[in-house]
Homo-oligomer: A and B are copies of this chain.
Amino acid sequence: MNNERTLNLLGALALSLVDGLNAATEGASGFGGEAPAALVTLGVEPGLSIKALGQILRLSHPGTVRLVDRLEKQGWVERRHGTDGRTLALFLTEAGTERRRLILAERRQPLQRAIAPLTAADREQLTTLLETMLTALTTDEQEAFAICRLCEEEVCPGDRCPVEQQYCRMVHP
């Protein structure tokens, strides 16, 4: 088989999907970059510090501060006192939670469109293949959070997430 052709197809699909994801999440939030991912992630992990959020989003610290500034100004995120006098705990406001829901709903559409032509059997095959690939791609906790930063974790049971499983295997061998 022509392996390189498969690489091209995989890259093309990924690019096309992420184009769609970016358009959807930016349309739903009015912000580009990592802002939509920040809202999604804070919904799953409320109380994250600025530093921790930045590591998940792979932003510099100042970049994260500015991102949180933008989200706070929209009334979507609150800076509360954290465990420390230094540390902040970030929480979604009610409006932020609502906005997050909208982002996730819009995010589904390009994904749905991609798997629309697949039969039920195809989807099972695909799911298995995705699990295998994601398991291989996840090497530490940081990366696990990064990979899942736009996931609707509500519908993805943690004990069956290949990304989290892989991470847990690394940590508790």
Contacts and interface: CB of A to CB of B under 8 A. Distances in A.
Interface residues of A, number: 61
Given A4-B152, A5-B155, A125-B125, A130 B10 contact: yes
Given A11-B17, A150-B15, A155-B4, A115 B133 contact: yes
Given A117-B133, A135-B117, A156-B4, A14 B12 contact: no
Contacts of A163: 12
Grouping DSSP codes into helix (H, G, I), strand (E, B) and loop, the A interface class, with mixed when no group exceeds half, is helix
B8 A17 contact: no
Interface string A1-32: 11111111111111111110100000000000
